[in-house]
Every structure is written in structure tokens, then in C-alpha cells.
Chain A
């Protein structure tokens, strides 16, 4: 499985990006990631969540997952982030360089 996350926006507007090939990870790292992709029903999620009408300085995420059979991208801003996606984004974010 290949997971690609781009985080933009936030107060600092600092772009962070990570591309993970799960097979190159240890099982302790791979299992929660692949498990959360499955638990979130990632491939059934809409490609775009509505932008929040109010608020500012929130993070914006673009997540792409390729499981070998399917490729799907989800774009979502933090205030519209469904609870089902939050743990997955937190888990992927652990892999930002540094």
C-alpha cells in the first residue's frame, strides 16, 4: 500500500508532505496504518469534503491511498474533518520527516 499525505495551511502555512510504502515499514508501524485505512472506509469516502464556512488558519489535507487495486484521493480541511479520518491523519503525520 502507498500512502501520500500533503498538509498545507495552518497558521504558519508550512507545507508538509510524506509518501509511505507500507511494505517497507516494520509490522508495528505498518499494521496501525493499514488498519486505519480500512477502518475509515477510505475508498468509499467522498473525494472532497465541503469547505468550512467559517474559521481560519486550519490545516488542509490531501490524502491519496493506492492499495494496488484502487487509487483514491480525499481532500479535507480540518474543521470538516470527520472523526473517522482523524486517527488515520494523526498516524500518517507521525511519518513527516523529522
Chain B
């Protein structure tokens, strides 16, 4: 599938000749990838480029309500057929996410080298969270009063695994705007994993993150909404969804690493607007642009404005300068008040 990602080198010409050194570096990185794939093809005599072996390795562990120092816990045999819904969901979600990256974008696991995807369930007791610890995923059972188990939503699993992808690629620092971009990348690919499993078009998708995690007691449909950030929940105990949908409402805070789970609403909505503009299955065009950008074009301290510029450039490289895809990307970012810098 990496072959499908081949970019006509002439399209990189304008980037390679840009006065901006970052643009030139991006062009060089993309050209190097093309050369790599070409070299592989030549070596194989122009036959089909076989996918690297040593792929799909998905493991689920039970940490039995233990904490960080107890990770990963006991390795479980046959998690796909487990009677424990948390085990089964953790496995199936990781498996669907692996397939998503592999089938659509030619990526072989979190590190693109086929590393095992490890998940531990039953983390601590009544734990209202899921996370990526830099090595593996952890899932809490939820308190049962306000929160159900976190594996219940497949987009949460895609979200966590994408944190691993981001760490291996762009390395977006988990603070302020780069941190909110890191969060947004996880929401984007988390929801795309769900959309692909359900085979939904942009109009059919709910664009919600964490649907099903709240119990019936909570007034809210999910933890976040990409189509209407700030509207996912409004509950007397848990408060109101604090996400902004545009730069005018950007939240300045020292909490949550500078509001990484709050301001991610802005790039989330930009992606949603671009995907809606393009229609069809969001993973085919908008998702592809975002993925190549995450893989090749972002740096650890990228701001929203630079990310906007990079997605715009990548859309130009993948689909052509002045293409409808490039226009849709611009429309997405403009819609959230991010101007694409020259």
C-alpha cells in the first residue's frame, strides 16, 4: 500500500524550491520515501511489493486491578474469544486499528516495524480512564456510576494506539498547541477506525469520541464531539463539555497540560469540516492527508497554523495543487479561524 502513497516528484518541486527551510526539509523527506519504495521495487523486478512480514502481534494482559508497577500483568490466551467483554473489546479494537493502518496506509503497527500492540485491562479499581504510557495501552473499568469500561468505545482504542503512532512519527510534545494537535490526531484516527469498522460515510458517522462510556446517569452522549465541539455533555455533576470549535474561543489554562483535551476541539473540527466537504469515506482523502502529514510533515513543537500549512501542502502533493482536496483542507482550517500561513 505504500506504493499507492507514491508522490509524483514534480509536485514536490515547488516545495523543494521554497524559501522556507521547513518546506524544503519536507520535500526532501518525501522524496527520500519515494526513492526507498522505488529501490524496493527495482530489487523485486517491478513485481508486487510484498508487505513486510512479522506483522500483526496483538496481546492483551489482565493487570488485575494493579497499578503502574504491576504492568503489564498476566498475558491472556485467546483474547478474541474471551468471555470478559473488556478483554475481547481490547483485542478487537487493537486488531481493527492495526488493520486500519495496514490496509489503508501501509503502516505496520505503532512503530511501522510490526511491534506488538500490548493492552492491559482492569487497571486499578473503578478507574475512570484509558491511556498510553509510552509502551502500551491501559484501560480502566470505570466507576460504574458515571463511567462504563473504557474499551466499550472502539474509537478510544484507536485513539490510544494513535498516541503511539504520533510518538514514533511527529513526536508532538504533550503540551499547549502541539499537545492539542497530538490529542486531535488521536481523535481523528480513533473516529476513522470506528467509521471504517461500521463502513460509514461522512454523513452517516456520529463524529463522537467515547460514545457509550457515560452511564445512563450522565446527561451527555459522549466525551467529545468533532462535528460540534462543546456540545457532547452538560451534566450537573461532571460539568459541561469545555471544548472550543474555533480560535476565538481558544482556552488558556495551565491545567490538562495547557488544555490538550480542550483545545483539540479546534483541529478536530477543522478535520471534520474538510472531511464533510470531500464526502464519501473520510479515511480515503481527508484521513490520508492527515496521516501523511503526521508521518512526514510535523515536528514536536508544531503549532495549529503550521499544521494547517502542512496539511495544505500535503494535500497539494497527494492530490495536486489547486485540487478540490486542497481547497477542502483550506476550508476546514478557515472554518475554525486558522489562517494558512504563506
Which residues of A are interface residues toward B (Cβ below 8 A)? Answer: 6, 8-15, 51-60, 62, 77-79, 81, 83, 86, 97-98
A-B pairs under 8 A by CB, number: 92
B224 to chain A, nearest CB (A): 8
Taking a contact as CB atoms under 8 Å apart, the answer to whether B261 and A58 are in contact is no
Binds A, one of B34-42, B112-120, B237-245: B237-245
Could you say which residues of chain A place their CB within 8 Å of the CB of B224?
A: 13
Set of chain A residues within 8 Å of B260, measured between Cβ atoms = 9, 13
20 A-B pairs within 8 Å (CB atoms) are namely A10-B128, A10-B261, A11-B130, A11-B131, A11-B150, A12-B129, A13-B242, A13-B260, A13-B261, A13-B262, A15-B255, A54-B135, A55-B163, A56-B182, A60-B256, A78-B131, A86-B67, A97-B237, A98-B145, A98-B237
User: Are A57 and B238 neighbours in the complex by a CB distance under 8 Å?
Assistant: no
Which residues does chain A contribute within 8 Å of B203, judged by CB atoms?
none
B residues near A (Cβ < 8 Å) are 67-69, 128-135, 145-146, 150, 156, 159-160, 163, 167, 174-175, 182-183, 186, 210, 213, 223-224, 237-239, 242, 255-257, 259-262
Q: Is the interface of A mostly helix, strand, loop or mixed?
A: loop
A6 vs B256: C-alpha distance in the bound complex, in angstroms? Answer: 10
Q: Is B174 in contact with A56, judged by CB distance below 8 angstroms?
A: yes
Chain A, residue nearest B160 (CB):
A57
Verify B237–A59 contact, CB threshold 8 A: no
Bound-state CA distance A2–B129 (Å) is: 27
**Contacting A54 at CB < 8 Å: which of B68, B69, B167, B223?**
B167
B67 engages A55 (CB within 8 Å): no
- List the 9 shortest-distance A-B pairs measured between CB atoms, nearest first: A13-B261, A54-B134, A8-B255, A57-B131, A56-B163, A8-B256, A98-B237, A55-B134, A12-B223
